[in-house]
Each structure stands twice: as C-alpha cells, then as structure tokens.
C-alpha cells in the first residue's frame, strides 16, 4: 500500500461528507474535543483519506513535521509470570525450555554491553515473577545504574508494580517512591490492554484491574515520574471499548499531564490462547492510529512501535498521525517476536531510522526519554 499525505496547516472539509461526519470534522478543524460517540462514528464511517487528513492536521499542530526516535535497548528479566493472559505469547512456565530468569549478574552483563555507547534509555519489562519483591525490583534498577549511571531507566509495567507493591503492603505512592529512590526514572505503558471490565474478564481475568492501572499511573505522575499509555487492539474489543479506553487516559492526562505518549499495540495471534481470532488488517491499524491521534488531544506523542508493525507499515502510520517510532532496540526484546510479529530480530540503526522518517516526508529527530531533543538529522 502506498499512502502519503502532505502536512496540513489548513484543511478544507469535503462537501460530500454526511452531516454527522461533517459536524465531527468541523469540531476537529476548530480545535474542539470529540467525545466517545464521535470517535466511534469515525471508526465506523470515516474513510481512510479523511482520517489521514484529520490526523495529520492535529499532528502538525502539535509536532510540526518532527518524527522522533531514541537510542535504546531492552532488558527482559524473566518470562515467568503468575498471570496467564489469553493474548500473551510471552508467558512460560518454569519447566518450559523457552523460559528464562536473569540474575542480577546477568543484568549487569547486559548493561555492560553499552558502556561507552550513546544509548540514552533502557526499557525494563518482563513477566511477574512469583518470588520477587519490591526490593529486588529496586536492585535491578540499581544494578543497571551502577554500570550506566546516566541511563534513563524506564521500568516495570503497572501489572508488575501492582503485584510487588501490594505484596509489600504499601500504597502505590509509597511503593513508587521507594523505586524512585533506587533510580526509577519513568514507567512504560504496558498492562493497560482494554479497560472495559467485561472484555478484561475474558482476556486477562486474574491480572490487575483497569482501576489499578490508572491509579498507579496517577500516583507515578504525582511523584514526578512520567509514563506512557498503551491500548491492545484487534482482538474481541469493540470500537466503543477502544474509545472509552482512550477517554479514561485523556481524563487522567487532564488531571496530571504525566503521559509522554500513547502507543496502540496490535494483538498478534501466534502462540497464544486467542490464536483462533486471527489479526486485523493494515487498514484497521491505520484507522486506529488516526482516531487515536484525533481523540487524544492532550497527549502530545503517538508512537508507532516498529517491531510490532514492521518497518514499511510504520512508515504508513506516520501518514496517520504517528510522530514517534521508538528506537534502535538492538535486538533486545522478544515480546512481539514470540507473538509472530514481522520483525523477528528487532534492530534498527540510526541511519535506517532516519531514512524511514525521511521516506515518510518528515524531519527525523533524536529524543531522550522525556522528548527533549538530542539531535536534529
């Protein structure tokens, strides 16, 4: 699929639109916030060209022509997990030959590979190990910072945090304060999945609730710990479920301003209990990016995670509102490769990342974890 859309500083609404779509487009052009029902209307009735144009309008107002990336790597301490979510291809039991548990020495060795490099972020996420406690989570951060004192540690999904903080019988705020003292800089957005209770009961009944996810992120923001937000789409959820999920994130962002970016994560069907569902197509991916960009007017950045989408589809996502494509990664994550994503060995050089962005007609910008500009290319 070839789809390029120019940047829009102005946009003329087509006269051929239905009245409901015309009214929604008018609100968007005028800088007004759309509601859940209007987002559902866009999902159901807007064609790709209109969605691309509207998403580009919003993105251009917020980010101009910039598309961001960073230099990063991942550490995945374990794929053992007390939970067994039906969509997960990463989880393994202790006796499974594909399971792993990294010791603190293993983590130290992984960090040592980046001594003297210009990598700025490490992303630390894994399964919820049944025996680890909050101090062990802190020791993992401390181990990394001992080797790489200037690295930004973005670590632990809300699901991991909920488990270890409750295990310690602490409030979310106190638990996060302890981890911040160990060196936690920000937290990723994983574990949000879909907030709808009925859907969550079907796909991940035993993990932390949507309320817990939101409470943890709010507590982090109030402590000055920034975070990201995600949404797992393309399984059994409805368009209304997606819009209500984003609405909860938008409402929290109104309160705290602590979300750096929103990351739509596509359900990948290989090697999990929902494999029978298959996967949504590229058109649906692009539709979802555009509606996300339009709806989340107070979250500055929309990330197209290239290991999930693949390189060519990431380029297309930029034409539908994405302004961030994640980073170099250096083949250090298995979460999406185990679920059948196109990129089985995810690694991108700076040269390839910047060329991808230029091919999409945008300005490549290297950022740090808080979206401060490191270098313009």
The CA-based angle 81-85-88, given to 5 degrees, is: 85
* CATH number 3.20.20.70 given to 67-376: yes
Per-residue pLDDT tens over the stretch 61-110:
999 999 999 999 999 999 898 888 888 876 666 677 777 899 999 999 99
pLDDT at residue 342 in the model:
53
Structure tokens at 126: 């894994």
Which residue intervals of the chain are DSSP H helices?
A: 19-29, 36-45, 48-63, 104-112, 134-147, 158-167, 172-182, 197-203, 210-222, 239-256, 282-295, 306-309, 311-318, 350-359
CA distance 196 to 126: 24
pLDDT at residue 4 in the model:
46
pLDDT at residue 221 in the model:
98
pLDDT at residue 91 in the model:
63
pLDDT at residue 247 in the model:
98
Counting beta carbons within 10 angstroms of the beta carbon of residue 335, is it exposed (0 to 12), middle (13 to 18) or buried (19 or more)? buried
pLDDT at residue 8 in the model:
54
pLDDT at residue 79 in the model:
87
DSSP label at residue 160 = H
Answer for the pair 273, 238: CB distance below 8 angstroms, yes or no. no
- CA 254 vs. chain centroid, Å, equals 19
Rg (CA), the chain: 20
Q: pLDDT under 50 in the chain at which residues? A: 1-6, 334-341, 343-344
Phi first, then psi: give them for residue 348, nearest 5 degrees. Answer: -135, 130
DSSP label at residue 149 = T
pLDDT at residue 333 in the model:
53
Q: How do the domains of the chain map onto residue ranges?
A: 67-376
Per-residue pLDDT tens over the stretch 144-190:
999 999 999 999 999 999 999 999 999 999 999 999 999 999 999 99
Three-class DSSP category at 227 = strand
Q: C-alpha dihedral over 53, 1, 67, 113, to 10 degrees?
A: 160
CA distance 371 to 62: 13
């Amino acid at each position: 699929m070839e789809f390029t859309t120019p940047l829009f500083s102005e946009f003329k609404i087509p006269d051929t639109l239905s009245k409901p779509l015309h009214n929604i487009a008018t609100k968007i052009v005028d800088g007004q916030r759309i509601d859940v029902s209007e987002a559902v209307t866009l999902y159901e009735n807007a064609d790709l060209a209109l969605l691309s144009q509207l998403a580009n309008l919003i993105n251009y107002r917020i980010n101009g022509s910039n598309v961001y990336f960073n230099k990063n790597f991942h550490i995945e301490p374990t794929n053992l997990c007390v939970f067994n979510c039906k969509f997960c291809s990463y989880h393994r039991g202790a006796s499974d030959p594909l399971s792993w548990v990294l010791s603190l020495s293993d983590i130290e060795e992984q960090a040592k590979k980046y001594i003297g490099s210009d990598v700025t972020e490490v992303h630390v996420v894994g399964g919820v190990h049944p025996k680890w406690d909050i101090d062990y989570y802190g020791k993992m951060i401390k181990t990394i910072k001992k080797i790489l004192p200037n690295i930004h540690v973005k670590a632990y999904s809300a699901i991991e945090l909920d488990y270890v903080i409750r295990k310690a019988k602490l409030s979310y705020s106190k638990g996060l304060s302890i981890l911040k003292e160990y060196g936690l800089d920000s937290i990723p957005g994983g574990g949000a999945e879909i907030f709808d209770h009925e859907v969550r009961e079907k796909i991940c009944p035993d993990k932390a609730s949507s309320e817990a996810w939101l409470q943890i992120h709010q507590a982090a923001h109030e402590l000055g710990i920034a975070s990201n937000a995600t949404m797992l789409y393309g399984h059994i959820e409805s368009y209304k479920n997606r819009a209500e999920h984003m609405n909860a994130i938008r409402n929290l962002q109104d309160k705290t301003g602590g979300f750096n970016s929103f990351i739509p994560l596509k359900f990948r069907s290989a090697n999990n209990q929902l494999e029978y569902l298959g996967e949504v197509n590229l058109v649906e991916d692009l539709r979802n990016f555009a509606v996300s960009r339009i709806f989340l007017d107070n979250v500055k950045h929309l990330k197209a995670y290239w290991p999930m989408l693949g390189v060519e589809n990431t380029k297309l996502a930029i034409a539908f509102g994405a302004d961030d494509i994640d980073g170099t990664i250096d083949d250090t994550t298995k979460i999406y490769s185990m679920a059948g994503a196109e990129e089985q060995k995810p690694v991108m050089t700076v040269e390839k990342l910047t060329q991808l962005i230029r091919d999409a007609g945008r300005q490549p910008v290297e950022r740090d974890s808080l979206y401060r500009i490191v270098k313009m290319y």
